[in-house]
Amino acid sequence: MPEPREVARYTRRIGAGIERVWENVRDWEHLPWLHRASFRSIALEDEGERGWRARLGLANGREIRLELAIEGARYVSRTLEGDGAGSEIWTSLREIDDAHTDIEVAFLVPGVSADAAVKLGPAYVQLYTRLWDEDESMMQRRAALLARRAELFAPLPTDAESVDLGPAAHVRAPLDVEFAGRPYRVARRGDALVAYSRVCPHWLGPLADAAEADGALACPWHGYRFDLTGGRGCGEHTRLRLLPAPRVEIGADGRARLVGTTTA
């Protein structure tokens, strides 16, 4: 195979600490979910301390085989098969402080002329700008909520003040509310109103953005699904449960209120 030629270089300061960045690098599961505009599926082949290897379904319907190898303070993504086979993307990480990391990404592609490289480089930079935008948003939210993890996972206080949602028949669900200082969403399940945490118990992802189908939610970060009736994870994720949530109570006056009896 021809020697790879560098077609572009991308530098950026990420608004997340290096621990979150390395965590993100190792997290192959999020690719077809957080980056659904680029990837449609992933099938893991191997995983270890030094990286992972998988088959990735692309948004264009094609498939590639990708290897991510960690080498000290940098890592390389190698396309082993499929579109772009032989290309390598080298990313170097440099810790700045607890909330910032500098990255430098070099894109190397085999068998391209200098003229072709000039045209190909901007496409790589555009793609990686979008991918890192999406990753940065996830890492920043995760870092912020990890600081509140103990509070979010703790049982709700039984003496928490109830929250009046208004006449039950007129509640405009889905409705985002706060109860006991924690974020929840109120949704309709048939004729009933249910409340659930807007925080995924897996990686603290945004369940307010979760798609609902067949009575279950799918987190947009990793696709983990949760049953809205009992709060338990679906499929292979039954060990997970939705975070503690208040109960929606309909009073004799017909008004809906959130009360502190937990449903998860």
158 and 70 inside one domain = no
Range of the domain at 117: 4-146
Domain's final residue, options 146, 178, 208: 146
- Cα–Cα distances in angstroms (integers) from residue 234 to residues 90, 190, 219, 225, in the given order: 37, 20, 12, 5
What's the pLDDT score for residue 4?
86
Asked whether residue 264 is assigned to any structural domain, the reply reads no
The predicted structure's pLDDT at residue 3: 81
pLDDT score, position 158 = 82
Does residue 163 sit in the same domain as residue 232?
yes
Number of domains in the chain: 2
Contact 103, 16 (CB under 8 A): no
pLDDT at 1: 67
Does residue 221 lie in a domain region?
A: yes
Q: What is the largest CA-CA distance in the chain?
A: 77
225 alpha-carbon distance from chain centroid? 13
**Separation of alpha carbons 157 and 242, rounded Å:** 17
Answer yes or no: are the C-beta atoms of 217 and 208 closer than 8 Å.
no
Instruction: Select from 146, 181, 198 the last residue of a domain.
Output: 146
Assess whether 57 and 76 both reside in one domain.
yes
What per-residue confidence (pLDDT) applies to 261? Answer: 65
Residue 234, C-beta contacts closer than 8 angstroms, at least 6 positions apart: 216, 225, 226, 227
Closest by CA to 165, choosing from 184, 137, 140, is 184
Supply the DSSP symbol for 204.
Answer: -
Do 135 and 160 sit in the same domain of this protein? no
CATH number of the structural domain spanning residue 96: 3.30.530.20
* Residue ranges in the chain modelled with pLDDT below 50: 264
